[in-house]
Amino acid sequence: MTTFIEVDYQFPAGVDARRQAQAIAIGQTAGSWDARFQHREAQLRGHLGEVIAIAELAAGRHQATVRFPAANVDGRLGSLLTMIFGKYSLAGPAKVTAIRLPERFGQAPRFGLDGIRERLGVQKRPLVMAIFKPALGLTAADHAAILAEVAVAGLDVIKDDEILPDLPMAATLARWEACAPVIEAQRDQTGRDLLYAVNLSGNAQQVQTLALQLVAA
């Protein structure tokens, strides 16, 4: 049984949405489709994208839904994004507004939102998150001091600013080692958990090494 990935594209007023959607359906799958490929139709047809709906929106805009065979991608995010937008993103006028994936597509998150809520013991209300600021110029000890001040406010999650790399003055592992006792103390005092989303940066090997070090710390 063939499974599909459906993507909604929104086009601004004045754009031929059907023509653009057809360009996406072909350009992001076979890349080209005309009489030259008729002798391979049986082989290639199952990989072509298909425009399955065009809807008119307010202010002259249109939405097109393109259906892609899920077999065209390998289940990884990179190949998915390349297929649904890829080279079209460089020149096309559309923006992606929705993606509907097969139920078993790719690798599911280890915890997911439900798992995070269960870990925190928060089911009904929105989660409260903060970001370490200033993003740069703080030591690992500074991060711990800031966390100690804001944790008592009922924080659920705190995260590094994404522009903070693994700098010597506030190395990734050092930040965690400084903040972990604060989190433990908060848990002991209140019975509530607090999650720290640590930013990892570097090449693939460095990121993997840091991740393993953090798990072991």
Annotation says 87 is catalytic: yes
pLDDT of residue 88: 80
pLDDT of residue 33: 63
Convert 136-167 to b/e letters by CB count within 10 Å (16 or more is b): eebebebbbebbeeebeeebbbbebeeebebb
Please, are residues 175 and 104 in contact by the beta-carbon 8 Å criterion? no
Taken as a whole, the chain contains a residue count of 217
Kindly list the domain boundaries of the chain, sorted by start residue.
Answer: 4-100, 112-216
Please, are residues 186 and 152 in contact by the beta-carbon 8 Å criterion? yes
pLDDT of residue 39: 61
pLDDT of residue 29: 86
Structure tokens given for 5: 């990935």
pLDDT of residue 37: 61
> Which residue shows structure tokens 């937008």?
85
CA distance 176 to 45: 52
Positions in the chain short of pLDDT 50: none
Burial class (CB in 10 A: 0-12, 13-18, 19+), 59: exposed
pLDDT of residue 152: 87
Class of domain 112-216: alpha beta
pLDDT of residue 172: 96
Q: From the candidates 87, 95, 124, 159, which is the catalytic residue?
A: 87
Class of domain 4-100: alpha beta
pTM for this model (two decimals)? 0.67
pLDDT of residue 103: 86
